[in-house]
Amino acid sequence: MKEAMNLPNQLILLPLLAVVVVNLPLGLRWAAMLGGVFFSIYQMWTMVFLPPLETGFFDLQIDGLSRVLLLSIGLVAFVSILAARGTIRDKRERFYFYNLVLLAMVGMNGLVMVRDLFSLYVFIEITSVASFILIALRRELDGLEGAFKYLIMSAVATAMMLSAVALLLLATGETSFAKVAEQMRLGGSGLPVLAAGLFVAGLLIKAGSVPFHGWLPDAYMAAPNAASILLGGIVTKTTGVYALIRLMQDGMFGTGMSPVLLLAGAVSIVAGALAALGQRDFKRMLAYSSISQVGYIVLSLGTGTALGVVGAVFHLFNHAVFKSLLFVNATAVEDRAGTRDMNQLGGLAARMPVTGFASVVALLSTAGVPPLAGFWSKLVIIVALYKSGHPVYAAVAVLASLLTLAYFLSMQRRVFFGKLREGLEGVKEAGWYVLVPTLALTLITMGVGVLIPWMFGSFVLPMEKF
C-alpha cells in the first residue's frame, strides 16, 4: 500500500480523489478550490526539491524533463484556479471549472510521466476532453464554436496517433518508448516510419504548429479567461510539444524528422508573429503569439542535438510563465474594462499599474530582451541552431524577435500606454486573486533571468542527465 502511494502515483491519484470527494453529496463543494490550490502547491513543492526515483502504475517515472513539466503544470494550474476564483462570477460554473482543472492535471501529470506510446495517447485524450469542456464552459456561441473546432481537429489527431500506435504494434509488437526506439535504430523503414510520421502530425495538431494550427486562435479566444490561461500556458505545451520533445529525446524518429520540424518551427514563428501583428482582440493576439513561440520550441527541437532539446525545454518553461502572465493580464483587463478589443482600450497603465508593469515584463521576456528569462532560452535556441549548422534558421529566429517586439509593443501602446480612453476612468486595479498570480509570475520571469547562472546549473542542464 505504501508502494502504491509513491510520488508518481500521488500525482495521478490525489487530484482524481479530490474530484470524487467534492462531488459526493457530502457538502464539500466549497473544498474544490482549496483542493486544487493545495494540490498544485504540493506538486510545485515536490518538484522544486529533487523528487525520488520511484516507479508508479503503468511504469510512471519522473526524470529531469518530467520534473520541469510537472513544475510548470503545478504553477499554471495554481494561477488558473486563482484567476477563476477572481473572475468567474457564477458559483456553479466555478465549481465545474475547478473539477475540470483537476482532471486536466491528472491527464497532464500522467502524460509527462508515462513511458509508452499507448498510455501517452490515453493521457493526452484525458487532457483534451477536459479542455473541450473548459472551452465551452460558458455555453455561449463563441465557446461552443471554439470547442467544436478543437474537438474536430483533435479527432483528426487522435485518428492519426491511434493508427500510428497500431502500426507500430503491428511492426514491432511494442509500444514502450525504449523498445520502439531500439527498433527504429535497428533500421526503421516502411511501417515504423509511416507510424512516426503520423504520430508527429498528430502531435503537431495538438501543439498548434502551422499549418496544423487552425483551431488554436478560436479556442484560446473563446475560452473563459481562466481557461485560456491553462490552455495557452500549459495544455497545448504538454499534449503536443512535450510529447514531441520526449519522443525526440528518446530517439524514436531517427534523423529524418529534423528538417520537417525545423521547417514547421520556422514557418510557425513567422506566420504566427505576422498574424499576431494584425489582431485587435487581445487574447486572439496572444493565441497567435503562442503559435509563434511554439515555433521556437519546435525549431529548437529540430536541431536534434542535446543543446537543442535543452533550449526547447527551457523555452517551454519560460513560455508557460510569460504566456500565462500575459493571459492573466488580459484576464484582468477584460474583467475591469469589459472588453478585449485593443482599439477600444488605452492608457490603462495609469489605472492598473501592477498589470501594466507585469505586461511590460512579460512582453520583454517573450521578445527576448535581456536579462529576462526569455532572452536566455532564446539564446540557447539560437546557439543550438548555429552550432548544429543551421545559420539561416538562427537568423530567422533572431529577426522574428523584431516582429515579436513589434506586435507586443503595439499591444502595450494600445492597451496600457498613452492617454486614458474615455469611459475607462472608473477602472480599478484587478483584485488580489488576479494580482497574486501576476506578481508571482512577474517575479519568476525576472528571477529566472537574473539568477540564470544558478538556474542553468541546477535546473536546465541536469534535464539531460537526470
**Smallest separation, CB 152 to another protein (Å):** 6
Looking at the Cβ atoms of 51 and 272, the one nearer to another protein is 272
- Alpha helices by DSSP H, 278-390: 282-302, 306-337, 348-351, 353-367, 373-387
**Smallest separation, CB 201 to another protein (Å):** 4
| DSSP reduced 3-state for 55 | strand
**Smallest separation, CB 156 to another protein (Å):** 6
User: Binding mask 371-410 vs another protein (x if CB under 8 A, - otherwise)?
Assistant: --------------------------------x--x----
Residue 205 as a binder of another protein (CB under 8 A): the answer is: yes
- Alpha helices by DSSP H, 114-254: 117-135, 141-172, 177-185, 191-207, 215-222, 225-230, 236, 243-249
Residue choice 37, 251, 254, 409 for contact with another protein (CB under 8 A): 254
Sign of CA dihedral 134, 140, 146, 149: positive
Q: Dig out the grid coordinates for 53 from the structure.
A: 526515483
Q: Which of residues 37-96 bind another protein (CB under 8 A)?
A: none
Looking at the Cβ atoms of 149 and 315, the one nearer to another protein is 149
Stretch in the footprint of another protein (CB under 8 A) among 94-102, 192-200, 417-425, 456-464: 192-200
**Smallest separation, CB 171 to another protein (Å):** 13
Residue choice 215, 242, 327, 393 for contact with another protein (CB under 8 A): 215
Q: What are phi and psi of 386, to 5 degrees?
A: -65, -40
Residue 152 as a binder of another protein (CB under 8 A): the answer is: yes
- The residues facing 222 across adjacent strands are none
| DSSP reduced 3-state for 138 | coil
**Smallest separation, CB 123 to another protein (Å):** 22
Q: How many residues bind another protein (CB under 8 A)?
A: 39
Residues 149 and 231 sit within 8 Å (Cβ to Cβ): no
Residue choice 14, 73, 223, 271 for contact with another protein (CB under 8 A): 271
Residues 196 and 165 sit within 8 Å (Cβ to Cβ): no
Stretch in the footprint of another protein (CB under 8 A) among 3-11, 184-192, 230-238, 354-362: 184-192
Residue with cell 502551422: 210
Looking at the Cβ atoms of 189 and 343, the one nearer to another protein is 189
Looking at the Cβ atoms of 56 and 272, the one nearer to another protein is 272
Q: Dig out the grid coordinates for 59 from the structure.
A: 511504469
**Longest CA span, the chain:** 68
- The residues facing 341 across adjacent strands are 281
User: Binding mask 337-376 vs another protein (x if CB under 8 A, - otherwise)?
Assistant: ----------------------------------------
**Smallest separation, CB 286 to another protein (Å):** 15
Residues 221 and 142 sit within 8 Å (Cβ to Cβ): yes
Looking at the Cβ atoms of 12 and 397, the one nearer to another protein is 397
Residues 313 and 463 sit within 8 Å (Cβ to Cβ): yes
Residue with cell 518538484: 47
**Smallest separation, CB 407 to another protein (Å):** 9
Residue with cell 545559420: 391
Stretch in the footprint of another protein (CB under 8 A) among 2-10, 90-98, 256-264, 412-420: 256-264
Which residues have CB under 8 Å from 52's CB, separation 6+? 6, 7
Which residues have CB under 8 Å from 456's CB, separation 6+? 376
Q: Dig out the grid coordinates for 52 from the structure.
A: 525520488
- Positions in the binding site for another protein (CB under 8 A): 148-149, 152-153, 156, 160, 188-190, 193-194, 196-198, 200-201, 204-205, 211-215, 217-218, 254, 256-257, 259-260, 264, 271, 274-275, 277-279, 403, 406
